[in-house]
Amino acid sequence: MTNNVPSEFEIFPWNRNFETGIDDIDQQHKVLVNILNRLAWHFASDTSELTSDQILDELLSYAAFHFKFEEAIWNKALSEDEMARNHHDAHQMFFVQVEELRNSREPQEEVLTRLFDFLTRWLAFHILESDRRMALTVELVQQGLGLSEARNRVDSELSGSASVLVNALLEIYGKLSSSTIQLMREKMARLRAEDELSRIQHERLHQALEEQALEYQQHLETLAYTDALTGLWNRNGIVRRVREYLGEEVRPENSAALVSIDLDNFKDLNDCLGEDAADRLLGLLSRRWLDAIPADACLARTGGDEFALLLPDANHAESRLEALRLTARQPFELDGVEVSAGFTAGVVLFPDGAVEDADILLRQADNTLYRAKHEMRSGWLYLDAGERSQYRARQLLLEDIRRGLNQDEFRLYYQPKVNLRTGEVLGLEALIRWQHPRKGLLSPIHFLPAIEHHTLNIQVGEWVLRESLRQLQCWDEQGANLNVSVNIAANHLQSDNFTGSLSQILAGFPDVDPARLDLEILETAALGELDKAVKMINDCRQLGVTFSLDDFGTGYSSLSYLKRLPVNTLKVDREFVSGIEDNSENLSILQGVIGLSRVFGKQVVAEGVETVRQGEILLSLGCECAQGFAMSPPIEATRIPAWVTNWQTFPEWALTRASENP
Ligand code: C2E
Ligand code: CA
Ligand code: CA
């Protein structure tokens, strides 16, 4: 409701003519008039029925009190006179009539109008005529007049002009009240109508705005999910559609197929006809394909000349693809030249059971397409069950690794790197393990290959860096001042911000001298873009860290390459150490590697020293530094301080003098 509803009004204003001269009675009359006015207000403003009813109850009960009070005065002054009895009967009639009106079955509105009309007239009459008469009579009796004489006097006083006045007043009040109420009701109705109108207008406006917002949203969606060139869905669009499809409650058995399509020789066509014509071909082809696929299928352009197709009914995949092939083959007219198109496709049938992610399905289709492109010139291939389960297993492992990282399930074991002759502990190689909640302690072969090309590898690598620096700090506190080597994966080393992130990690351990950290990298990791690798290694060395070339000898590095790579140390792969006792070929390789490292001024560390004899041979070749089971396997960090304290080199090695080196 609006605020412009008038406040309560007096339909029945108090008038001095109402006064009887008896104070108490006049006060009570005022209360009655007030209640009547309130009732009129509620009636006119059409508030709840309940309120009118409550006010009416109030009126009745106040009237009962008032009548009793009044009658007591009359009776006292006029002692049980007939006049007083009549007055009492008139009072009782009042209740009877009100009840009768109230219980009427006529429409509410009608009843209220009549009730109100009755009440105003009755009250006016009760006050102006009946009570006045009584009060005057009482006054005269109290002045000493006999009762019948007093009554005669009153009769004559209230006849003639006085009775005309009373009748006129009654008439006026009657009319005034009913027309005022009528006016009020009309006014209130108009106000309500205005309110309703403004509410409706407001609603309309709101609705219009909502419609506009919806349109805008639809427009945005169109932009986000469709391909402007062809009007087909784009990659996001089909992923969304596949996701919706996967989310459907009931999917028919052997349901959908997802097809990744790549046009054959599109690049040639582009070069030869120009981009515009090529674009036109994409548009025309899209239109033809849209006509060739069933209504429930979904076709998208996912890249330049790449398309994806969702077929909810995989049973007909073969014939649908055949139809696409035939329509593409029909010649297209482009600037007077006739061309036709062919394509290669990878098809993935939706798995029956476990619901896979839409992204994964599309990637599987893409991978199958790439395999198809290698194996055939044109046509389509299906993802086979073996591939699917392999793919699935890898996805699960990735998920598990991610979870393991979050749950802090990875551990670092440490393997000492020593000087065989002096026994000095040069450092410890950090080697990752996974304390898997179900599978137990896993060595890296069980999980690192799965993330070899994945960004997760970087997360793992950063964890290893941080954890080994934290461990150094921890050993420092225990009085063991040690160095650590960390294996850096190829994609981690080649990641955009390797140097920056390394320096940030180092900054987190201000008490650890970066020179105590050695990074073991693989030849293959640095092989890619040599200039870039050299710059990156030099940048990192500026931070203080050193570099080792891991698994040295297994790669293909040319001598010139080795010369340019700014690493400090070469770690000779264990392949060349094993069997040196009786493998003369390995022995000469080792000899060569060691000689080479001298020429280039690099340190050499031999990996995989398992026997005392192997150590002796290495020493005799001039290689003093080594790692291997002969000294210690990788062990937990907590065991390192004790190992360092107890470790003594073998007497056979200690006896070798440096001068014996060739
Ligand atoms: P790697 O860098 O060549 O590490 C040496 C591997 O040889 C370790 O295997 C070690 O346990 C094993 N080994 C050491 N001494 C001997 C020995 O005398 N005889 C024999 N037979 N083996 C020995 P592990 O710990 O299973 O690690 C395997 C590979 O996983 C490592 O080869 C390294 O390439 C990779 N790796 C381990 N930890 C990490 C890591 O934190 N980050 C990265 N990126 N790679 C890691
Ligand atoms: Ca290593
Ligand atoms: Ca190695």
Residue spans per domain, the chain: 7-223, 228-383, 416-429+455-655
Q: Which residue has the higher pLDDT, 91 or 475?
A: 475
CATH 3.20.20.370 fits 228-383, yes or no: no
628 alpha carbon – ligand 1 mean position (Å) = 10
Least distant ligand from the CA of 415 = 1
Name which of 174-178, 184-188, 280-284 the model is least confident about.
174-178
Mean pLDDT, residues 244-265 taken together: 82
CB 409 within 8 A of CB 440: no
Amino acid at residue number 237: G
Q: Which residue has the higher pLDDT, 483 or 92?
A: 483
Provide the CATH number for the domain formed by 416-429+455-655 in this structure.
3.20.20.450
The count of other CB atoms within 10 Å of the CB of residue 265 is 15
Q: Which residue has the higher pLDDT, 180 or 373?
A: 373
113-127, 143-157, 177-191, range with greatest mean pLDDT:
143-157
Mean pLDDT, residues 273-297 taken together: 92
Q: What pLDDT was estimated at residue 49?
A: 53
With cut-offs at 50, 70 and 90, classify the pLDDT of residue 124.
Answer: confident
Q: Is the dihedral of CA 518, 520, 523, 524 positive or negative?
A: negative
458 alpha carbon – ligand 2 mean position (Å) = 17
Is pLDDT at 539 greater than 70 in this prediction?
yes
With cut-offs at 50, 70 and 90, classify the pLDDT of residue 50.
Answer: low
Length of the chain, in residues:
662
Mean pLDDT, residues 195-222 taken together: 81
Q: What pLDDT was estimated at residue 660?
A: 46
CA–CA distance from 536 to each of 464, 468, 499, 601 (Å)?
A: 20, 22, 7, 20
Q: By alpha-carbon position, which residue is closest to atom 17 of ligand 1?
A: 608
Q: What is the mean pLDDT of the chain?
A: 85
Q: Which atom of ligand 1 is nearest to the CA of 457?
A: 44
pTM, to two decimals: 0.55
With cut-offs at 50, 70 and 90, classify the pLDDT of residue 516.
Answer: very high
Mean pLDDT, residues 532-560 taken together: 85
Name which of 144-148, 234-238, 277-281, 457-461 the model is least confident about.
144-148
Q: By alpha-carbon position, which residue is closest to atom 25 of ligand 1?
A: 431
Structure-block tokens of residue 238? 């089909």
- C-alpha 660/C-alpha 365 separation (Å) is 64
Q: By alpha-carbon position, which residue is closest to atom 21 of ligand 1?
A: 608
420 alpha carbon – ligand 3 mean position (Å) = 18
404 alpha carbon – ligand 2 mean position (Å) = 23
CB 433 within 8 A of CB 412: yes
CA–CA distance from 103 to each of 53, 90, 97, 300 (Å)?
A: 12, 20, 10, 75
Is pLDDT at 95 greater than 90 in this prediction?
no
CA–CA distance from 457 to each of 364, 454, 465 (Å)?
A: 21, 6, 12
206 alpha carbon – ligand 2 mean position (Å) = 68
Alpha helix (H) ranges present in 333-384? 358-375
With cut-offs at 50, 70 and 90, classify the pLDDT of residue 4.
Answer: very low
Q: What pLDDT was estimated at residue 252?
A: 64
Q: What pLDDT was estimated at residue 3?
A: 40
Is pLDDT at 513 greater than 90 in this prediction?
yes
Mean pLDDT, residues 602-616 taken together: 95
Q: What residues sit around ligand 3, an ion, with C-beta below 5 angstroms? A: 550-551, 607
Q: What pLDDT was estimated at residue 6?
A: 47
Residue list, ligand 1 pocket, CB within 6 Å: 415, 430-432, 443-444, 448, 461, 464, 487, 489, 550-551, 574, 608-610, 627-629, 634
| Short-list 59, 84, 57, 58, CA closest to 70 | 84
Q: Which atom of ligand 1 is nearest to the CA of 464?
A: 41
Is pLDDT at 450 greater than 70 in this prediction?
yes
608 alpha carbon – ligand 3 mean position (Å) = 8
Angle at 27 between CA 21 and CA 32, to 5 degrees: 120
**Percent of the chain whose predicted confidence (pLDDT) is above 90:** 39
The count of other CB atoms within 10 Å of the CB of residue 85 is 14
Mean pLDDT, residues 364-374 taken together: 89
185 alpha carbon – ligand 3 mean position (Å) = 99
Q: What pLDDT was estimated at residue 625?
A: 97
Q: What pLDDT was estimated at residue 500?
A: 97
With cut-offs at 50, 70 and 90, classify the pLDDT of residue 98.
Answer: confident
What CATH fold (topology level) applies to the domain 7-223? Four Helix Bundle (Hemerythrin (Met), subunit A) (1.20.120)
Least distant ligand from the CA of 444 = 1
Q: Which atom of ligand 1 is nearest to the CA of 412?
A: 41
251 alpha carbon – ligand 3 mean position (Å) = 51
Q: Which residue has the tokens 């008032």?
A: 66
| Among 411, 487, 522, 551, residue to substitute to test ligand 1 (most atoms within 8 Å of Cβ) | 487
